[in-house]
């Protein structure tokens, strides 16, 4: 199986590659449109800033490549946010795969809630979906983010921090996870394994 991990100016790519290798996969890190189009699975990871990342994608024509993907596609963290239609981070128009807006967390109680949201939190309200198959009860995942996707019809799992937000999205052949599966121990490993088996 050929797994393309999209290279763009974002952090955290190496840990995604290591997590895939631990599952026995052989991912390639690439920004070559032909490599991405010919892959069996495509993963769109990232930590970073939305407008800068979108600028990189557009400069290389990768924005349209991502919109045209037909194989299973997984966005992670910033990758989830860029698959939405708009981010409040520097007022950024994103890829529009999911008709969802990305907003900044506003702490209601600064003593209890810090922004960014950093740490372990549970997945709730899981829908029946191949990505979520056979997850353990009360699955915990690791988050690092200041922005979140609103709840929508594409939401297949939620997490509560300040309020409920979208933890995982799915629409057609596109999935996206706000948490970092590569840092989420057994649950993250199972999510990645499920994706590779879709």
C-alpha to C-alpha distances, 27 to 2, 5, 96, nearest whole angstrom: 7, 7, 26
Going residue by residue through the chain, which has 198 residues, state the pLDDT in tens, using 9 for 90 and above: 999 999 987 767 889 999 999 999 999 999 999 999 999 999 999 888 999 999 999 999 999 999 999 999 999 999 999 999 999 999 999 999 999 999 999 987 667 789 999 999 999 999 999 999 999 888 999 999 999 999 999 999 999 999 999 999 999 999 999 999 999 999 999 999 999 999
Active-site residue list: 77, 180, 182
Greatest Cα pair distance in the chain: 49
Q: Report the 10 Å Cβ neighbour count for 139.
A: 21
How wide is the angle at C-alpha 187 spanned by C-alphas 184 and 193, nearest 5°?
105
CA separation, residue 146 to residues 48, 84, 102, 104, 140 (Å): 11, 15, 10, 6, 19
Contact by Cβ (8 Å): 188, 196 = no
Identify any residues that bridge with 96 across adjacent strands, giving them in sequence order.
none
- Written as six digits, the tokens of 89 are 């981070």
DSSP state of 109: S
């Amino acid at each position: 199986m050929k797994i393309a991990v999209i290279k763009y100016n974002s952090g955290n790519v190496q840990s995604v590659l290591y997590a895939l290798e631990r599952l026995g996969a052989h991912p390639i890190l690439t920004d070559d449109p032909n490599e991405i189009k010919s892959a069996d699975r495509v993963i769109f990871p990232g930590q970073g800033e939305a407008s800068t990342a979108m600028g990189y994608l557009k400069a290389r024509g990768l924005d349209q490549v991502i919109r045209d993907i037909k194989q299973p596609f997984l966005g992670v963290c910033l990758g989830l946010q860029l698959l939405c239609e708009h981010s409040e981070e520097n007022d950024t128009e994103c890829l529009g795969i999911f008709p969802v807006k990305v907003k900044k967390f506003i702490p209601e109680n600064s003593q209890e809630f810090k922004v960014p949201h950093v740490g372990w939190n549970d997945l709730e309200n899981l829908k029946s979906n191949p990505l979520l198959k056979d997850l353990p009860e009360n699955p915990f995942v690791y988050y690092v983010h200041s922005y979140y996707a609103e709840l929508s019809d594409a939401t297949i799992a939620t997490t509560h921090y300040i309020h409920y937000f979208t933890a995982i999205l799915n629409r057609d052949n596109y999935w996206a996870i706000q948490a970092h599966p590569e840092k989420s121990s057994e649950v993250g490993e199972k999510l990645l394994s499920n994706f590779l088996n879709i």
